[in-house]
Amino acid sequence: MCGIVGIVGNQNVAGQLYDGLTVLQHRGQDAAGIATADGTRLRVHKDNGLVRDVFSAKAMSVLEGRVGIAHCRYPTAGSEGMDEAQPFYVNSPYGIALAHNGNLINTEALRQDVFAQDRRNINTDSDSEVLLNVFAHELDTQRTLSPEAALRAVAGVHRRCKGGYAVVSVVLGLGLVAFRDPHGIRPLVLGKREHNEGTEYIVASESAALDILGFTRIRDVAPGEGIVITARGELFAQQCAEPQQHAPCIFEYVYFARPDSMIDNVSVHKARMRMGIKLGEKILRLRPDHDIDTIIPIPDTSRDAALEISNVLGVKYREGFIKNRYVGRTFIMPGQGERVKSVRRKLNPINLEFRNRVVLLVDDSIVRGTTSQQIVQMARDAGARKVYLASAAPPVRYPNIYGIDMPAVEELVANARSEEEIEKFLGVDWLVYQDIADMEAAVREGNRNLEKFDSSCFDGHYVTGIDPGYFERIQQSRSDQAKLKRRAV
């Protein structure tokens, strides 16, 4: 999962791109980069690290231009070195920089086609560089540079690329080009801001980035749609792919997105509240005579759900863990060793909230389970008589292949285990999961037009279809063991 921003403004946009990235930092902590267009020059600065560490005053001073894109990276495909930081750049045709959120699932076939047919070389393992070269080739075949030509090139990308992707790019001599995969798996929102010198536009992964910069949210970019915003501030939009069933990633609502964001006209905050209500109702059905004394969220993402469970059960809600704000999101750390070490650094229990109580811990989801194990043990060490655990999402039993780092099946605690076996593994006195239908209904209530979701990590149904042998290939390249080997080289 990554964060992307693109802006066409009336003055230099680098500072705004930087601010937008800080709002999207939760989507990627591995690397960050900004590319701006100043006339016929493209300026790029990127590096490994957090946004605040990558961009010095000196680096920002050279990022001139009224058109620009920005990216914060969370590694799924590819390695974790400096050469994987985005935006990527090619100088033909015209000069193009591109940043991408998501994952292509036909990368290897595309890589071969790009070399053999398009006669372009790929220098990294990143699917984003492959996507950039596909777009560059499709634009080159147009033999002209115009908004219409760029939209035809986007249509060519949709014909060739398969997976979940949201893209922002800068094309020298034209402006900003943005597009979203035909199923709308990965999010992308369009906004504008009126200025004395004219209208300014923004596209970003989440609407929270628009809010902080004073842009008004217009709408979500439609699945398969292409957006062109010229350097003069002219907006062109066109459907560039055959209609497909809209299936946004439900894990955005469960965990990844900020609660103050709107995605596909659904408030993430409200969706999580509704998940809590439905899970609370399930708890009452299963254990009407429960003995729960206190509801405690595992910060931060589960707070909305935990509050509503508290309301449904009529049990007091308490903050039981203090979070160290200077440790990153454990889920998106590259490797199990880092995740395990970070749990104790990140959370510290308030013993008074646990001592001699039956505690229901609430988490947004349970993926690998090792973090949950440690938190459960913290609760016991703090004096809890019993520790129950509620997950606002169903069991994660399958790989996510559209940009979320949970690809190796054997790393998932729910893989090949019953709920009773998971309960034993985690060391809890009782475990309760959300039902898939209730999770999807909680999101759909915010937008009745959403008939389908990408819930593949919960139900194993992949909206794009899967080629034979794909899971075996990604397991070899993306498991924690594979990442450890790459870092050791």
Pair 29, 329: CB distance under 8 Å: yes
DSSP 215: P
- Find where tokens 């589960």 sit: 302
Strands (E), 306-357: 316-317, 321-323, 347-349
Q: Name the residue type at position 212.
A: I
- Residue 283's φ and ψ, nearest 5 degrees, are -60, -40
10 Å CB burial of residue 15 (0-12, 13-18, 19+) is middle
pLDDT at position 78 is: 47
Q: Name the residue type at position 142.
A: Q
DSSP 37: E
3-state secondary structure of 123: coil
Residues of the chain with pLDDT below 50 are 77-78, 332, 334, 486, 489
Half-sphere exposure of 328 (CA within 13 A, CB side): 17
Annotated active-site residue 457? The verdict is: no
DSSP 73: E
Structure tokens at 318: 């308490």
Pair 147, 228: CB distance under 8 Å: yes
- Active-site residue (options: 2, 72, 240, 249): 2
- Helical H runs in 117-214? 127-140, 147-160, 207-213
Residue 93's region, left for phi above 0, alpha for psi from -120 to 50, else beta, is: beta
pLDDT at position 482 is: 55
pTM for the model stands at 0.92
Alpha-carbon span 245 to 352, nearest angstrom:
50
pLDDT at position 483 is: 54
Pair 33, 85: CB distance under 8 Å: yes
Q: Name the residue type at position 473.
A: R
Residue among 434, 210, 409, 412 at smallest CA distance from 302: 434
Helix (H), strand (E), coil (C) string for 449-473: CCCCCECHHHHCCCCCCCCCCHHHH
pLDDT at position 330 is: 55
> Distance from CA of residue 219 to its chain's centroid?
19
Q: How far is CA 309 from CA 117, 249, 260, 283, 396, in A?
A: 56, 24, 20, 9, 21
Alpha-carbon span 15 to 64, nearest angstrom:
10
Q: With the C-alpha atoms ordered 120, 124, 125, 128, is the resulting torsion angle positive or negative?
A: negative
pLDDT at position 83 is: 77
The helix (run of H) or strand (run of E) holding residue 424 is: helix 419-426
The helix (run of H) or strand (run of E) holding residue 338 is: helix 336-346
Q: 300: cis peptide before it, omega within 30°?
A: yes
DSSP 144: S
Q: Name the residue type at position 461.
A: H
Alpha-carbon span 306 to 273, nearest angstrom:
8
Alpha-carbon span 294 to 350, nearest angstrom:
13
